[in-house]
Chains A and B, each alone.
Chain A
Amino acid sequence: MQMSRMGSPSVGMEDDIGSGHALSDFLLQLENYNPSIPDSVVAYYLNMAGFESQDPRLVRLIALASQKLLSDIANDALQHCKMRTSSQVTQTSKNQKGPKEKKYVMTMDDLVPALQEYGITAKKPHYFV
């Protein structure tokens, strides 16, 4: 916790310390919670990076963080998708189903702007070597 104090000497420091404490409590709750990504897979990728932990809760925390990131990006992509389909719905009047029951297909057109907001640029190469 001293590191966080040194690293961010801003006003939001207390929030970080507070969240750090909360996280340690949260870690205890994590024992019962299983994220969607299995522990072994996450542990494998962490081991590839050199991160070896005997505590499975840390692994689950990282899995949860990645899952949350994924769901955030997916939500943003869904927003993009809805924006696109709602503009199409208003144009076509043949639509009998409500917009809620419309099927949403995620394509690269939705994903790329969602990733852009997170700083990830995903570009398809123009040619394949």
Chain B
Amino acid sequence: MTESTEKVENICDARRRILNIAVSTVLLETGFDAADKVSLETLTEMIQCFITEVGNSARGYCELAGRVEPVLGDVSMALINMGISLQGIEQYAARPSRHIIQPPQQASVPRTPSMLSAGSKAKPAPHIPFHLPPLPDPHAYIRTPTHKQPVTEYEAIREKAATQKRDIERALTKFLSKTSETHNLFNTEDNQVYPLIACKPTFPSYLPALLPTDQVFDFDELEYHFQVANRTEDMPADKKENSDNEGDNGGDNENANNSQSETQDAPLGSSPDRNKSGG
């Protein structure tokens, strides 16, 4: 706030300074060689008040006559009202010893270059009046998408989904064949041509047939349970070994559910052997 008041004062200061210069010019012309700072300021203040008062008075006379623009008559009435003779002005203008030292006319302040402007401002449409401010930068109200609109055709989407699925499967099988155990198609030494991903059967293999499972209503929930059941980070060390015996591919549904409930209820000291021995 102080900055804004200082700025306003600076704007007034420039005019005050010009008035100071003008007063000094007149004093020089009168014959003074120097002047007190206080008296200079007093005279400047007096001149400023005088101009304001004449303007006020002339405006009053002008409005009294029902006009808006002041005329010479208004100004002369204002001057007469303040006690200034009009004849003296003309004589004063024609005085021979007047200094032609004119205070420099102020040039208009250069406008600060517009920073942070991206692109050129668009021209206003013809229905917009010209006295309104110009349009803002185009990026402020025009939005161009940065990417192409996605294809929404059903056929294209189906095709895309199918290719994605195929690519995913292929990549995943390649990865597994490279990293996990593989079987050979032919009865030769380690053959890299047609590796088969090794099947790891659970032991015993007849157990899923013996233990009936409930109906699976929600496969996502089942998967979630399975993942939570197989989490080994939070479980104590002895349980970790047992849970490692769980199969990777699907395992036992009931086992998964039971073990999950077990871990929730009694993480410390239940009897996991009964449930986990089948793993």
Q: Which of A27, A41, A47, A104 has most B Cβ within 10 Å? A: A41
Closest Cβ of chain B to A52, distance in Å, is 8
Residues of A within 8 A of B87 (CB): 15, 19, 22
Residues of A within 8 A of B55 (CB): 45-51, 62
Stretch at the interface among B69-77, B182-190, B219-227, B242-250: B69-77
Within 8 A of B (CB), among A16-56: 16, 19-20, 22-24, 26-27, 29-30, 33-34, 36-38, 40-42, 44-54
Task: Tell me the B residues contacting A by CB distance below 8 Å.
Answer: 15, 18-19, 22-23, 25-27, 29-36, 38-40, 42-43, 46-48, 50-56, 58-59, 61, 65, 69-70, 72-73, 75-77, 79-80, 83-84, 86-90, 92-93, 99, 101-103, 105-106
Closest Cβ of chain A to B21, distance in Å, is 8
Residues of A within 8 A of B23 (CB): 70
Residues of A within 8 A of B54 (CB): 46, 49, 51, 62, 65-66
Residues of B within 8 A of A68 (CB): 84, 88-89, 92
Contact A58 B75 (CB under 8 A): yes
Contact A49 B53 (CB under 8 A): yes
Contact A41 B19 (CB under 8 A): yes
Number of residues on chain A facing chain B (CB within 8 A):
66
SS class, residues of chain B in contact with chain A: helix
Residues of A within 8 A of B75 (CB): 58, 61-62
Closest Cβ of chain A to B240, distance in Å, is 84
Closest 5 CB pairs of A and B: A49-B55, A51-B55, A46-B55, A74-B30, A106-B35
Residues of B within 8 A of A29 (CB): 93
Residues of B within 8 A of A71 (CB): 26, 29-30, 92
Q: Which of A23, A61, A66 has most B Cβ within 10 Å? A: A66
Given contacts A20-B73, A23-B72, A74-B27, contact A105 B105 (CB under 8 A): no
Residues of A within 8 A of B34 (CB): 103-106
Additional A-B contact list (5), CB under 8 Å, known A70-B23, A71-B30? A19-B86, A41-B18, A49-B53, A50-B56, A107-B38
Q: Indicate which residue in A23, A37, A50 contacts B59 across the interface (CB closer than 8 Å).
A: A50
Contact B93 A4 (CB under 8 A): no
Contact B92 A38 (CB under 8 A): no
Residues of A within 8 A of B33 (CB): 103-105
Q: Indicate which residue in B18, B70, B88, B103 contacts A53 across the interface (CB closer than 8 Å).
A: B70
Residues of A within 8 A of B40 (CB): 106
